[in-house]
Structure 1
């Protein structure tokens, strides 16, 4: 019975025992019916208090362990979010360093945020840009020029002529920086 019921539930143990003992039984080959006695369990108050303290401590330890696991999970989630979303990292920093939020800092952070999100590695289009960069780096100048013209035509076809002009301008700047002009072959 001790394994079924803790000391603090001695009334439940008592009821369980009496439900078994209080049933009548006929004796085989005798005109006699037996009714078992009633059991009453008692527990010392200090033992009950000790058990209650032990149960409370076990419960508190389990609760603390659950809270610690939850905090660790939240910290890991925050770390993942901060490492993949640069703007969230900046916002988190400003929340914890409000004295740093003067107008100059806000403007600098705004510019930095725009730069970071433009090249954020988790953005699919940035990955496409990296693939294009890998593809373009081995092309000779005429092939690069042809690629830029083809992309510019696509931009124009989708009613984005200003993007086509910007693409051509960037391509010209990159060629002059790299030492490749549209008319000179690469080495």
Structure 2
């Protein structure tokens, strides 16, 4: 890691403070540079799977100021590491050291400074094995979920477009049972279609009405007035002013004069 320059003068002309005669050279000792090593766990993107990180910091100055800076560094490193999964330990190691060099090799309060710093990121083999197993489980679950969704879409298609239409259902059956033509007559296609058909008399308009009624039930007065106002605008946009006027006459409606054309 890059070390900041030590600006302490090691030699000065003596006598400036009255401690020696002019012309004599006096050695001035720089503040001692200390090394602090500590290990910690930093959270990963999967919070239950941590990184193992060791820091080595060379510093000088006041111990209290350094301790506060170190605590801040540890908190910052935890937030930074949470962007990475444990399989990206090498990438985190490189980025963490780059950030240390860029932002933490500097002076703090009371002449306290971090002279240089280094981080080493590792992952326990058991943690990495757990991550690998978790990813395998997630992939299997995703495949299974896709299989369920595909099966459901197929069943819905068969219900709406095949089994509810006897002529299509017959063609579908024959296409899959060309080797069993004798069984064709025994299949009750009409009864199957009746079982899958919507209830008698329930048209699309009736179903839409039921949906709107259910939706209106959960609205308060203000929301209901807003919805009715939107329906007025829709009817007028489709050149159906008579329907818009009927909406305006409903309790809570805006009335035709309140809706801009």
Task: Please indicate the TM-score interval, normalised by the length of the shorter structure.
Answer: 0.3 to 0.5
Identify the structure with the greater helix proportion: 1
Using the size of structure 2 for normalisation, the TM-score is 0.34
Which fold has the larger relative contact order, with Cα–Cα distance below 8 Å and residues 6 or more apart in sequence? 2
Identify the structure with the greater strand proportion: 2
